[in-house]
Every structure is written in C-alpha cells, then in structure tokens.
C-alpha cells in the first residue's frame, strides 16, 4: 500500500499555495495556450483536431508518452499552426497573463521564438508588437508584471540566431529582458551560436540557455563559459559534474527547473527522483517553473504542490524557493527587490495558518 492509497492532498493546502506570491521564469508561449483557445482558433482556420471539447483536448495535448525531448517538442506544431497572425498571438499572450494572475503569479517571463510565427507573412517586428501588446494588456488588467525572453533554436543556422538576437536587442527597452537558446541539445551545440550571444551581451541584455535537459553537464558548462548564461533553463543533469555544480552554487547562477516537464521528457524517471532537492540542499538558486502549461498539463501551483507531495517541501521551503524566482528575475534590481519584498510580507501573513499537506483518504478538508 502506498501513501496515495491512504492519504490525499489537502484542498486547503492547494489553495494556500495558489495564494502564495510566485514568479514564473520559464514559460513558453507556444506551449501555454488555453485548450478552449486552441479549439476556437483551429476551428476558425478549418484545422481538424482529434477532440472538440476543451477538457478532452487538454488531456490529448498533455505529453506523457514522449521517449525524449524531441518527441515532446513535436506537439508544438499543433499550436504554432494557430499562432501566425497578430490577433492570434496577442490573444494567447493576453490570456496567459490573465491565467498567471489567477494562479498567484506576480511576475512572469514568457519566452518564444518570433521566427516560428512568420510563416504567413508577419515580420519579426509584427510578431514582437503583437506579443508585447497582449502581455501589456494583461499586465494592465491584473497587475501581474509580464516580460519577454526572445529565443533562438539550436537547430537554426547561426545567422538566424543573429536575427533573433538583433530583434531582442531592438526591443530591450520595450519589454524584452533576455535572450535564450532552446530546442534539442544533442547534435546542436550552443557554441555554434556564439556570435548571437556575443551580440546580446555586448548590448547589455541578459542570457539564459536551455542546457542539461536533453544532454549532459557539458552542455551546461558550454552555456555558461562559452555563451555567458546568467541562468540555466532546466539544468537537470548538472549533478553529473560536481565541480560545475559547486560553481553554479557559488556564482548564484539560477536554475529554471521544470520538474513535471523533465519527467515527461524522461530526463528523470519520477518526480520524487528529481535532483532539484539535491540542488536546493547544496544552496543553489533553484526556481520552480511550468515550462509549458498545456503540454505539461500543469499550473505553477500544481508544480509547487507536487514538490510538497513528492519531495517533502514544507511551507517554509516552498516560500524560500518562491522568493528565489523574484531574486533571479531579469528585471532591474530595484524592481525585482520591490516585488520580492512585497512577497516576503505576504508570505509571512499566509504562513500564520498553514493547513496540513495531506488528509486521510475520505476525510474532508
């Protein structure tokens, strides 16, 4: 008999976690659509989907059977098909901020590759303006601060990455806070995009790199020492290099950890075996993120609750990790510290009455 047979998550604890002030640092726009919006936009385009009801489509879009990262990423072609006009992009960005606010998220960095949204004639500027318009509208309506990370893809030739880097820099005073390199790691080394990274660093833009997800610790080493990464996306396999692990801890290079996604892509076998707990105990600046709310089928609240359920994190630990994300945000120092200080006060208030994580099966909250 397992714990799940005798205990269940306390709904009151879930609502406490939802109320916690949180920051989301690793969220892909094209993986975080509302299922109902995917249905509506697909219908408007005449695109057939295997389900015509939002909950059924959400279950189908959740990737639980991928054998690797590349299989996980294949599902994105479905969402990209309905993200090729300014109206579509603005709607999806706007809704993402609305949903983030309802989940207790005070600050969100949304990342995407503008080049993937130009298949029907939009320019890079068109795509950027639509994205920023949607995020800005959501921010005005909710108070949740929303910023953009521009991605290139490892599979792109380096001149394409330069195009994305130049676009990111052009919008650095209009909501873009960083440049990223995403996509399959194996066979696509980050150093091939060195000129793009050099350009964004020269123009004082922050850098994050997906690394240590589909490949080993050497990929993380390359991201830091050849690309100048200020943060690492995922970093799951960092533990394979103890010296590098210590370096990240000492230099406070934050890890944008996405536990559920890492289970889905088979980087780790189970949530309970995820090395985020190891990194946290070592003193690393770990943050918890969704990666893709649609493909992973999670909210940020879900991820935090899962950390409590599978890793034994109490409210104090959850609060400390939540504050890490404000500290690691790609905002000007004064702005991120103001958000963090407000979060500290609210967490102290919430911490006065913390319900138990589990209830015996059958017992009401």
pLDDT, tens digit, 9 for 90 and up, residues 340-362: 999 999 999 999 999 999 999 86
What would the mean pLDDT of 18-39 be, rounded to a whole number?
Answer: 99
- The encoded tokens of residue 311 equal 């890793």
Q: Are 111 and 150 in contact (CB under 8 A)?
A: yes
Residue 213 is among the residues annotated as catalytic for this protein:
yes
Sketch out the chain's domains with CATH numbers: 20-340 (3.20.20.140)
What share of the chain in percent tops pLDDT 70? Answer: 98
Q: Are 113 and 28 in contact (CB under 8 A)?
A: no
Backbone dihedral angles phi then psi of residue 9, each to the nearest 5 degrees: -65, 135
Backbone dihedral angles phi then psi of residue 186, each to the nearest 5 degrees: -65, 125
Stated as kind and residue range, the H or E segment containing 105 is: strand 105-112
pLDDT in tens, 120-164: 999 999 999 999 999 999 999 999 999 999 999 999 999 999 999
pLDDT at 5 over 70: no
Q: pLDDT averaged over the chain?
A: 96
Confidence grade of residue 365 (pLDDT, cut at 50, 70, 90): low
pLDDT at 2 over 60: no
pLDDT at 364 over 70: no
Say which residue the tokens 């940020």 belong to.
Answer: 300
pLDDT in tens, 245-254: 999 999 999 9
Active site residue: 90, 139, 185, 213, which one?
Answer: 213
Q: What is d(CA 93, CA 235) in angstroms, rounded to the nearest whole number?
A: 26
What would the mean pLDDT of 206-229 be, rounded to a whole number?
Answer: 98
Q: Coil, strand, or helix at residue 254?
A: strand
User: What pLDDT was estimated at residue 156?
Assistant: 97
How many residues are listed for the chain in this entry? 365
pLDDT in tens, 280-298: 999 999 999 999 999 999 9
Confidence grade of residue 1 (pLDDT, cut at 50, 70, 90): very low
Select the more confidently predicted residue: 119 or 68: 119
**In the structure, how many helices (H) and strands (E) does the chain have?**
17, 10
Residue 240, beta-bridge partner list: none
Q: What is d(CA 182, CA 114) in angstroms, rounded to the nearest whole number?
A: 13
Q: How far apart are the first and last CA of the chain?
A: 23
User: What pLDDT was estimated at residue 65?
Assistant: 73
pLDDT at 9 over 80: yes
pLDDT in tens, 167-191: 999 999 999 999 999 999 999 999 9
| pTM summary value | 0.96
Q: What is d(CA 207, CA 261) in angstroms, rounded to the nearest whole number?
A: 22
pLDDT in tens, 263-280: 999 999 999 999 999 999
Q: CB count, 10 Å around CB of 128?
A: 24
User: What pLDDT was estimated at residue 3?
Assistant: 55
Select the more confidently predicted residue: 362 or 218: 218
């Amino acid at each position: 008999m397992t714990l799940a047979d005798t205990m269940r998550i306390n709904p009151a604890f879930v609502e406490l976690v939802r109320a916690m002030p949180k920051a989301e640092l690793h969220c892909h726009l094209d993986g975080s659509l509302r299922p109902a919006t995917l249905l509506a936009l697909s219908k408007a385009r005449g695109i057939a989907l295997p389900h015509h009801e939002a909950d059924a489509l959400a279950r189908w879009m959740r990737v639980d059977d991928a054998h690797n990262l590349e299989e996980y990423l294949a599902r994105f072609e479905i969402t990209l098909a309905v993200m090729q006009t300014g109206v579509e992009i603005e709607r999806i960005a706007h809704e993402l901020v609305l949903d983030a606010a309802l989940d207790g998220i005070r600050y969100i960095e949304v990342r995407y590759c503008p080049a993937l949204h130009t298949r029907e004639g939009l320019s890079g500027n068109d795509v950027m303006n639509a994205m920023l318009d949607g995020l800005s509208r959501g921010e005005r309506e909710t108070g949740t601060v929303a910023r953009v990370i521009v991605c290139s893809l490892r599979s792109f030739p380096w001149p394409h990455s330069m195009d994305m880097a130049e676009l990111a820099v052009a919008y650095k005073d209009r909501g873009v806070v960083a440049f990223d390199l995403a996509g399959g790691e194996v066979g696509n080394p980050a150093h091939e995009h060195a000129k793009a990274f050099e350009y964004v660093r020269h123009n004082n833009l922050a850098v994050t790199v997906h690394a240590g997800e589909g490949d080993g610790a050497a990929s993380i080493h390359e991201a830091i020492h050849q690309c100048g990464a200020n943060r690492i996306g995922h970093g799951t396999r960092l533990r394979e290099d103890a010296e590098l692990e210590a370096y990240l801890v000492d230099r406070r290079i934050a890890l944008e950890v996405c536990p559920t996604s890492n289970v889905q892509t088979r980087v780790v076998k189970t949530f309970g075996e995820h090395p985020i707990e190891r990194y946290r105990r070592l003193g690393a600046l770990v943050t918890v993120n969704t990666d893709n709310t649609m493909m992973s089928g999670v909210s940020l609240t879900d991820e935090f609750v899962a950390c409590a359920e599978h890793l034994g994190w109490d409210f104090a630990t959850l609060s400390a990790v939540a504050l890490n994300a404000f500290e690691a945000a790609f905002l000007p120092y004064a702005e991120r510290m103001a958000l963090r200080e407000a979060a500290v006060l609210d967490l102290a208030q919430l911490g006065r009455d913390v319900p138990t994580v589990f209830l015996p099966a059958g017992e009401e909250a």
